[in-house]
Structure 1
């Protein structure tokens, strides 16, 4: 007799577990933005150390994404997903308990490992349990979890930071993670591929080292000197690591962490470039914009979270509409327009000044949300559409890696540029001329968002002047960093218009239904069907 699909209840439990896990990991990518001033004050962190609160998470998320999927296919998706959930939950507890910025950033890196595992394995679990129209519905719910997490992150972060404190943005994951873990252990079915290559641990190691060295060099550039002995060493490590990664990938072929043959597709190369640049432009903008709201406009964490609500709503609405557009409008048009909109939105931040209301940023927030609402669903559809169904998961994993690398490097580059511009602008101010040798330390405090404490440290006579000049320097640095981010978004738009082609896509990209990927249980079903027909 023919083997039956799992009972409906089990399928929907799987969807619930994957969606909750994905919501948590995506939330922790955005929720920390409004908590950074509180973290800086409690843990006495510098600007570069606060960048690592983002980058440590994004870096390990990027490094472990592809290899996690490969390991799950080989060892069992349920098992590996549960391990990722345990790692993420334990690391969240460690983040909440951190007594220093170093401990927090290390814990964030470990948290990123757990997030990578869940994010890589979750879609495979759904793909195993859902088929046909049900699969499209399941992936719509999965996409909604991603969108809601990104949309509500600043608001949730603001509420928790202004209420019980910033540590609760991490503590909240613990009870939710434990409840999800209990359901996962009891309700998820195990599945794996019948034939799967060994994970590329060597490739992952050299990729992680290379990326970490490059990010560290950029983050420390203003402090140590861009061409100091330390930074030159880091550049060399990054370059050697990248070369080693490419050599290993070429040697392992399709079994490498990144199958280089995928890059023979012009549209796939362009998609990865646009994904990298869009995230390198958009996420640093939110990071610095949040700091501007709290440190120049004196908004509380809760108020800053509320200010991002227009961005969230615009992203959510445009994201819901965009899914229908992908079957009617060429991908290059949607992607190109999204990046032109993002570039324009970032330039609109120049309308704001230290004496203005937050509403000066409202046009920028609305257009930024609309840009990402157009971009994210289209990117996801393209990522699984550039390859045949059997390779769709690999293509999607590589593209997600470029997304997280864009976040990590974008925050490092834009953050370093912002810090440099703030210091340079303040150095030319009247307050700096009076402060003399102390001006460098004051400028560093201003770029970290500690404008009021920096003004107090200058003494009663200079307090007001440092406040005025400090807010001006911060605003100038903010505007120039947004110009840099806008240039990256504009470059992404040019690439999208010029190089994305619908003719390079597999037909599954136009159906709106994620492709079926075979695994050992599907093969068993087919063998059972064959035996039944033969017996008949």
Structure 2
């Protein structure tokens, strides 16, 4: 396709992809703010709130690589539209859920919709626009998505306080109603003519089952589930090694740099995921913030990422990735140690804001160089695969962190109903998160090296989501088995 960005059709395509990706992006930022209200409304304990977050992350992380391949084979617009409809229907189910069990099931189904929706957004831009306009189109899409991420917690808090927590999910319905007619009328269909239609459904299922069992083991403290999860992971590796077209070609890990950066990714995004799960609860349960105030409190960190990620990426290109990936986690760890001052009667400007700014500077330092280093650690034809694996690894790390942190910090099932108990457990959890950041820093210093070739700067330079790094677009000449998910 050769659509020009300056044309009316080009603007419609940008509108459809931004609105579609914003559904999943907003969902990852607004739900955490609503958790205390969900728990009170549905009489849920802490484990239920963990599953409210993790059910969505589980299916999204397990199926996102498969979602991109479906778009290549059956049509990117078609899978994108199906994802929008699926996501909207499941959002409605979340909003009308009569109890916590139904909400958790609806959230898992919502993640399936996200796995169909998320990969298609950037892939549509890459396949639709004239080559001269693609970088600008991706930059515009990324910037608008960053603005959406910045206002997400604020909007979520306002909805919870004014209309109730159910509107956090109902918010997706008007977004879908705007996206669908625009996508159907103005977005051109595209697919990969070389796609053969063989999908690694078994691999995707085994990966999701392994993650689910390990998550259950951590939340329910079930040893049998931990053993079963490890066994499912072993079977997943064996299956992927033997399949002709695996979802995850294990040969990509022959690159030591790629393996090293993904180990760093696991550490830093585990700490990030755990923090952003517990921090809104701390502000509301312990400090006494409203949902709106808690959501607004997070804005400085997001704005720092929005404004400075591109400059951080440029600096990483000049000095190499080792220093940013070492210093960034240390800054974030220091920010989390400052979080120990956030407790009853805490001042936002004296206690909360300095910690958020320091952590935000750490995230700014590491996110863009991490993405660029992942892309530079493999051949150009495998950039889409490398980015997809790194994105999935980050989501899985956040998933495990949300499951493990309450256990490690000694949070009981009803801890979030007691300000004293939750405050003490939150401080222990911040120490764990800071330690994981330091581990990531040590790994980066010991294993990451400046690539022999210039690091590819990802077109998606602005990343304001906290669940995973941005995905990079697939390369047109890459084999199908090496062209999984491409998305924000």
Whether TM-score is above 0.5 comes out as yes
Partner of 1:301: 291
Q: Distance in 2 between matches of 1:510 and 1:207?
A: 30
**What aligned pairs does 1:1-20 form with structure 2 within 5 A after superposition?**
5-6=2-3, 8-20=7-19
1:515 and 1:46, CA in 2 relative to 1: closer, same or farther beyond 3 A? closer
How far apart are 1:395 and its partner, in Å? 1.2
Partner of 1:517: 475
Q: Distance in 1 between matches of 2:297 and 2:3?
A: 45
Q: Distance in 1 between matches of 2:241 and 2:318?
A: 38
How far apart are 1:329 and its partner, in Å? 2.5
Q: Note the alpha carbon deviations across 1:330-371, whole angstroms, 9 max, x for none.
A: 122222221111111111111233243334122111112222
How far apart are 1:129 and its partner, in Å? 1.9
Partner of 1:439: none
Matched positions, count: 463
Q: Distance in 1 between matches of 2:177 and 2:355?
A: 39
Q: Note the alpha carbon deviations across 1:58-87, whole angstroms, 9 max, x for none.
A: 111101111111121122111111111111
Aligned match of 2:417 in 450, 454, 474?
Answer: 450
Alpha-carbon contact 1:22-1:145 (below 8 Å) kept: no
Q: Distance in 1 between matches of 2:215 and 2:474?
A: 37
Q: Note the alpha carbon deviations across 1:178-211, whole angstroms, 9 max, x for none.
A: 2101111111111111222511000001111110
> Over aligned residue pairs, what C-alpha RMSD do you find?
2.1
1:405 aligned to 2:396? yes
Look at both structures and tell me which one has the larger radius of gyration over its CA atoms.
1
Normalized per residue, which structure has more helix? 1
Partner of 1:34: 33
Gaps of 5+ in 2: 461-471, 479-488
Partner of 2:128: 129
1:493 and 1:133, CA in 2 relative to 1: closer, same or farther beyond 3 A? farther
Question: Could you state the TM-score of these two structures normalised by the residue count of structure 2?
Answer: 0.90
How far apart are 1:19 and its partner, in Å? 1.7
How far apart are 1:133 and its partner, in Å? 4.5
1:511 and 1:26, CA in 2 relative to 1: closer, same or farther beyond 3 A? closer
Q: Note the alpha carbon deviations across 1:441-491, whole angstroms, 9 max, x for none.
A: xxx42x1x223xxxxxxxxxxxxxxxxxxx333222111100001111111
How far apart are 1:146 and its partner, in Å? 4.2
Alpha-carbon contact 1:65-1:120 (below 8 Å) kept: yes
Question: Could you state the TM-score of these two structures normalised by the residue count of structure 1?
Answer: 0.82
Aligned match of 1:273 in 260, 263, 280?
Answer: 263
Partner of 2:225: 234
1:411 and 1:511, CA in 2 relative to 1: closer, same or farther beyond 3 A? closer
1:502 and 1:74, CA in 2 relative to 1: closer, same or farther beyond 3 A? farther
Alpha-carbon contact 2:139-2:459 (below 8 Å) kept: no
1:178 and 1:382, CA in 2 relative to 1: closer, same or farther beyond 3 A? farther
1:57 and 1:149, CA in 2 relative to 1: closer, same or farther beyond 3 A? farther
Alpha-carbon contact 2:20-2:179 (below 8 Å) kept: yes
Q: Distance in 1 between matches of 2:208 and 2:242?
A: 19
